[in-house]
Structure 1
Amino acid sequence: MVGSKNVVHLVTDNASNYKAAGTLLNERYPTICWSPCAAHCINLILKDIGEMGTVKSLVSLASTITVFVYNHKYVLNWFRKTNGWKEIIRPGETRFATTFIALKSLHDHKDSLQALVTSGDYKNFLKMNKGKEVKQIVLDDRFWNNCLITVRIMGPIIRLLRVCDTDERPSLGYVYEGMFRAITRIKKLFRNNERLYKPYIDIINDRWDRMLRKNLHATAYFLNPAFQYDTATFSTHPEITNEFWVVEEEQEGELDYEELEEELEEPPIHGQCSNSEQLEDDEDEAEDVDLETFQRRNFFNDEDDDWH
């Protein structure tokens, strides 16, 4: 028999029946922590953002380009003959992250695509309506600007998904910091302009607060050496420490509380762990993107100033 005292944490799907079972489990065994699957929750965040009108429009335009390239052998062979060519990633039907990975892949091919549609080899395709449409999209700077901004919005979230959706090492201690990092990066990208970042932050907060967030996530962050030993970035915000003590009080057993408090007050050993190596990412600066044209409903109409 395993026994309830030997079970620390139970993770299930986010479906309502599993949530109900998790609640019943907590009521009967207060020492067992239950939480929904972090990877599933993050995937739902990606799904919700992908269904936003402006993002859906952007993805549709990107798909037009990709489908055109792979439906015309001459165009595809033209690309494959170029040095260093890599295939354009196409989104999967059930993997929401691949939508944004495909946008990143398409943006990486920007120069090659623009070289194609401005070359003499593309003349015959201009006789086709779809060929004209593809050229118009590829030469529109606002389309590429919006691709870049969307990729940068999703970057920290996809990095966190990769951490959570792996069996290589436990990921619980990285979820809290990863969510905070994603929100911070999005605000920074939009230069703290609430009108621009609010739709994305609202989606993240809704899924995080309503579905995923548990005291256990703050506790795991608080006890994670990758963060705790980095005094430059480690947070001891009351919200985190309070949630830690809530979890601690729920645990029964032979805990020496005074000894535990003394251990937590010991200064960390500097230099032994770096700050969140799993979630390390590049500094995404907003200087090279045009925020004022982002989220336009129609990328080809200069007079359309409606925002989503």
Structure 2
Amino acid sequence: MHGLLDDEYNELQSYIDSLKRNWSYYDVTIMCDSWTGPTRMSIINFMIYCNGRTIFHKLIDVSDKRKNARFICEMMKTVVKEVGKENVVQIVTDNGSTFKKAREKMMKKYNLFWTPCVAHCIDLMLKDVGTHRIVQVVVEQARQITNYSYNHHCVLTLMREKCGGDIIRPGLTRFATNYIALTSLLEEKQGLKEMFASREWKNYEHNRTTQARQIEDLVASSKFWDDARRIAQSTEPISKVLRLVDGDKKPIIGSLYEAIRLMT
């Protein structure tokens, strides 16, 4: 088993080395992705893009680091040196304030482009939309409906039967999921109403609890559905652009500007 693993590793390394030989000819883009998990472990991934292919370069655990502009800048310098500064034409990162400050420092030392991640920028736009009180209220109400359905086995079974499947749940981190979840909920409006009007629901032993009655009233509320529809319609153009730039099936730069024009 150990020999097979070594063979796979050597084969993969040989493939990566063949890609690296193209770096000096095509030049490369360094892509940086930061992530913090539920245990507060914080990591930064570095990928290298060249000639239509992307490879993983390294991972850095920064959980115990002070992630200020100076630290980010020094980390980036190290990666640029590892790749070869003569090969690097662009760095792509998220659009956080720390990375912005690090960009200013890096641009003074290296002649390269530093580009904010389009998906992250659009996600921040949706975050700003979510600061409006009415949006906060409706998203929270949608979360209450889905959480109640998924936290009770009998209700979940009934919901899947009436809706013909699952409902996307609003997320706690990625802001776009809130609006995608609202659209999903709107698509299943009729199924949810049928669920609460069904004989199975009337016979459900916990259907008179305070929480159950609140959720039933919420699904019956025309104001909730009207507000949810307005929010979903107003954010759909932004969400479309986000889905476009967040995919990896084909290059999208040719259609990006037209998508942004339609969004505005």
* TM-score between the two structures when normalised by the length of structure 1: 0.51
- Structure 2 distance, partners of 1:126, 1:110, is 19
Gaps of 5+ in 2: 1-23, 28-83
Q: Secondary structure at the match of 1:34?
A: strand
**Is residue 91 of structure 1 aligned with residue 190 of structure 2?**
no
Inter-partner Cα distance in structure 1 for 2:243 and 2:121: 13
Considering only aligned residues, what root-mean-square deviation do their CA atoms show, in Å? Answer: 2.7
Which blocks of at least 5 consecutive residues in structure 1 are unaligned? 184-308
State yes or no: 1:74 paired with 2:154. yes
Q: Percent identity, aligned pairs only? A: 37
Moved more, 148-157 or 9-18: 9-18
Which AA in structure 2 matches 1:43?
A: D
For residue 114 of structure 2, the aligned residue among 23, 34, 59 is: 34
Structure with larger RCO (C-alpha < 8 A, sep 6+): 1
Aligned equivalent of 1:215: none
Query: What TM-score does the superposition give when structure 2 sets the normalisation length?
Result: 0.59
Q: Distance in 2 between matches of 1:172 and 1:19?
A: 23
Could you report, residue by residue, the CA deviation over 1:117-165 in whole angstroms, capped at 9, with x for unpaired residues?
Answer: 2233333545211121112111111211111121112212112112222
Determine whether 1:11 maps to 2:92.
Answer: yes
Distance 1:23 1:142, change over 3 A: same
Native 8 Å contact 1:8 1:33 kept in 2? yes
Take 1:161 and 1:111, find their aligned partners in 2: how far apart are those partners? 28
1:145 aligns with 2:247: no
Give the 3 Å change call, closer, same or farther, for CA 119–10 of structure 1 in structure 2.
same
Cα separation, 1, equivalents of 2:170 and 2:114: 32
TM-fit CA distance, 1:81: 3.5
The CA deviation at 1:39 is 1.0
Does the Cα contact within 8 Å between 1:97 and 1:158 map onto a contact in 2? yes
Which residue is equivalent to 1:156?
Answer: 237
Q: Distance in 2 between matches of 1:165 and 1:140?
A: 34
Is the Cα contact below 8 Å between 1:10 and 1:33 reproduced in 2?
Answer: yes
1:228 maps to none
Deviation of 1:114 after TM superposition, in Å, equals 0.9
- Give 2:212's match in structure 1, choosing from 105, 111, 131: 131
Higher share of residues assigned strand = 2
Please point out which of 167, 170, 191 is paired with 2:248. 167
What is the 5 A alignment of 1:144-293? 144-183=225-264
